[in-house]
Structure 1
Amino acid sequence: MIVLTGECFCGAVKYKIEGDLNAMYYCHCSQCRKLTGSSFATNGSVDASLFTVTRGQTHLDKVPWAEHFRHHCKKCHSWVYGESESYPGLIFIPCGTLNEAPNRPVDHHVCVASKAQWVTINDDLPQYEGQQPTQSLAGD
């Protein structure tokens, strides 16, 4: 069985995933751009039952955003993981926090309607104008 680990920038918060990601995707929304300081974010989804914070639970701040919650490290302010009422039972991971490579490729692009004007998508991955369908995040 694959086990993935990850952590925030300063290492105060660590997590473990006992399995692989359900999906990996590029998110082009303005929130992800501002969170990462980049043109888009590479995120993944995983079943909540496979995800555990192994260190630093007390260092996490739960920050609401619409129907989403992002958990940030209080020390370095890294986004460590997220949850959404729209996708119950799933955890969202910024893939840059992973220590190991997932055993899967990136599946698709989301929020391409709001992508940065300077970005040109040059691959054949599916593109969603907004958020992707639930089944694509759950690995169905």
Structure 2
Amino acid sequence: MRWFFILMLMATGSYADTVMPTRTLRPGTLITASDLTVRDGVHPGMFDRVSDVVGQEARMALYAGRPIPFDAIGAPAIVNRNQIVPLFFDAGGLSITTEGRALERGGVGDRVRVMNLSSRATLFGFVQEDGSIKVTR
């Protein structure tokens, strides 16, 4: 069955495209269209459209000519390590607002560790679009 699928792909000439960097990108680099190329080939778990990668940030080193895995990039970080950020907690009618220190970098929607500056407790929360952290239980 597997050979049949491969022969069908070869007969139709429809290979999937794979996005690869044209140069080595260090973690934290904002990816632009000039950093990418598209090559023919089937690579499951890798990006196949340039539009999905442009504007994202490299979370790990991306090497030239190697496919880009889904977990290797993410939203650009808007919260940096050791940055003072507003913390918000809202549950069951209780709302708490205070300041905290981010213990790791994160982009919108990322779960990050933060330290409450008044209690010194380590908490987890999600980065919001405005750079604040919505604390979870």
Category of TM-score, reference length = shorter chain: under 0.3
Name which one, 1 or 2, has greater alpha-carbon Rg.
2
Scaled by the length of structure 1, the TM-score of the pair is 0.23
Scaled by the length of structure 2, the TM-score of the pair is 0.23
